[in-house]
Amino acid sequence: MSTKGDLLRLARQLRGMTQKHAAEQLGLAQAVLSRVENDLIEIDENLLGSAARTYLLPRSFFDITDPVYGPPVSVHTMLRGNSDVTARDIDMITAELNVRLFNIRRFLQNVDYRPTSDIPVLDIEHVGPVEQIASTVRAHWKITEGPIKNLTRMLEKAGIIVGDSNFHGASVSGVTFNAPGTPPIILVNRSHPADRLRFTLAHELGHLVMHRFPTPSMEDEANQFASAFLLPMHEMQTVFKGRKITIELLAALKKEWRVSMQAILMRAKSLDCISENQTRYLFQQFSVRGWRTKEPASLDFAFDPPTVLPSLIKSHVDDLKYAWPEVVELARIREADFNEFYGNLSGPGTPTRPTLRIVN
C-alpha cells in the first residue's frame, strides 16, 4: 500500500524533476523534502495542495492507495546497455508505468477482461536454449506456420495489455511491467516504425516468458527469442536454402514476414545461411544507403494497434455511461496526461473486443 510520501516521490519523478528543483518549487529545503518523501515528516493538506499545483496533478492523485513499484526487470539493464538512457529517464518511465498500473486497475474494476490464452513461464536455466523456448511458446499458442499476422492481437489474447509511449524522449524501444494482481503491460515506443515495434513486442514477450530476475545476458536472450519467435528456424532454413541472400531478397522477405531486413539478415547469419563476409557487405550497403536507422519507406507497413486498452477505457463511456470528464477523473491525472498516455478516445470509432464484459 502506498504512502503519501511514495506518491509525492512518484509525482516528482513523473515530471522529471530533481529533488532539489522540486524542493525549490514547493518552498522547502531539499533535506525536508527528502524526509517528506520518506514519510519521516507528517504531510499536511497545504503541502499536498502545493504538490498538486507543482506537479500538475489533481489533488486526488495523492489519495491513491495502490502499491508503488520500482523499475521492472526489463529496465534494470538499460543504464548499463544504453549510455543514452539516464537515471532520470528510468525514473520517469517507472513513474509512468506505475500511473498506468493505477489506471488499469481502476478500469478493470468495472470491466472483466478475459484472455483466451496464457503466457507460458519457461525458465531459461531449466527448459533449454532460447530457440527451443521460442518454439515451445509458438506451439503452446498453436501458431500456424508462416508469418505472424497480428502480433499485438496475439499478445492481447494471452492477457497482455499493450500500449504505446514516447518514453519522455528517451531512446527506449519498449518496457515490460508485470505486477501482482494486474495483467502484464508492454509499452512500445510510438515513434518507431512497425517492423521495429513488432520485434520489440516479441523481445518484451521474451522477458515475460523467460526472465523473473535481471541478468547480464537477458537483453541478448530476449533478442534471440524475438528472432526465433518471429522467424522460426526450420521455416527460415527452407526460405534461405539454395538462395543467394541479397538486398532484393531481404526486401521481399520483409514484406512477407513483417520484420526489418536487418533482422532477417541477422537471422540468416545465426542459422549459418550466410557467411560473415557476405553479412558484413550487406550491412555496409545498408549504411551507405542510410537504412541502418530507417529502411525504405516503400517497404513500410502499418503497425497493428492495441485494441484492449482503448476498449477498456471506451467501455466506461459506451456501456457504463460515464461522462468523458468522469473517465479522466477516474484515472486521477490531468486530461493532457490522459491523452498523452492513451490518445484522445473521447470520439467514436474505437473497436470493441469480445473478451471484455461489463461487471454489474
What pLDDT digit, counting tens, does each position of 229-244 carry? 999 999 999 999 999 9
Q: How much is the average pLDDT of 117-146?
A: 91
Task: Please tell me the predicted confidence (pLDDT) of residue 110.
Answer: 87
Chain mean position to CA 357: 25
Q: Residues 16-67: pLDDT tens digits? A: 999 999 999 999 999 999 999 999 999 999 999 999 999 999 999 999 999 9
Chain mean position to CA 330: 22
Task: Indicate whether this model's pTM tops 0.85.
Answer: yes
Residue 333 makes CB contacts below 8 A (sequence gap 6+) with 57, 58, 61, 99, 103, 341
Most distant CA atoms of the chain, gap in Å = 74
Rounded Cα–Cα distance for residues 79 and 113 (Å): 34
**What CA–CA distances, in Å, run from 214 to 7, 73, 91, 200, 208?**
26, 5, 17, 18, 12
Residue 127: Cβ within 10 Å count: 15
Task: Please tell me the predicted confidence (pLDDT) of residue 76.
Answer: 55
Residue type at 255? Answer: K
Confidence at 82, pLDDT banded by 50, 70, 90: low
Q: Residues 217-227: pLDDT tens digits? A: 999 999 999 99
Single out the residue of 209, 213, 280, 286 nearest to residue 254, CA to CA: 286
Confidence at 347, pLDDT banded by 50, 70, 90: low
> Has residue 174 got a pLDDT over 70?
yes
Mean pLDDT of the chain: 92
Task: Please tell me the predicted confidence (pLDDT) of residue 354.
Answer: 43
Confidence at 350, pLDDT banded by 50, 70, 90: very low
Residue type at 85? Answer: V
Task: Convert the chain into a string of H (helix), E (strand) and C (coil).
Answer: CCCHHHHHHHHHHHCCCCHHHHHHHHCCCHHHHHHHHCCCCCCCHHHHHHHHHHCCCCHHHHHCCCCCCCCCHHHCCHHHHCCCCCHHHHHHHHHHHHHHHHHHHHHHHHEEECCCCCCCCCCHHHHCCHHHHHHHHHHHCCCCCCCCCCHHHHHHHCCCEEEEECHHHCCCCEEEECCCCCCCEEEEECCCCHHHHHHHHHHHHHHHHHCCCCCCCHHHHHHHHHHHHHCCHHHHHHHHCCCCCCHHHHHHHHHHHCCCHHHHHHHHHHCCCCCHHHHHHHHHHHHHCCCCCCCCHHHCCCCCCCCHHHHHHHHHHHCCCCCHHHHHHHHCCCHHHHHHHHCCCCCCCCCCCCCEEECC
Q: How much is the average pLDDT of 75-86?
A: 64
Rounded Cα–Cα distance for residues 60 and 66 (Å): 13
Q: Residues 295-307: pLDDT tens digits? A: 999 999 999 999 9
> Has residue 128 got a pLDDT over 70?
yes
Confidence at 186, pLDDT banded by 50, 70, 90: very high
Q: Residues 307-335: pLDDT tens digits? A: 999 999 999 999 999 999 999 999 999 99
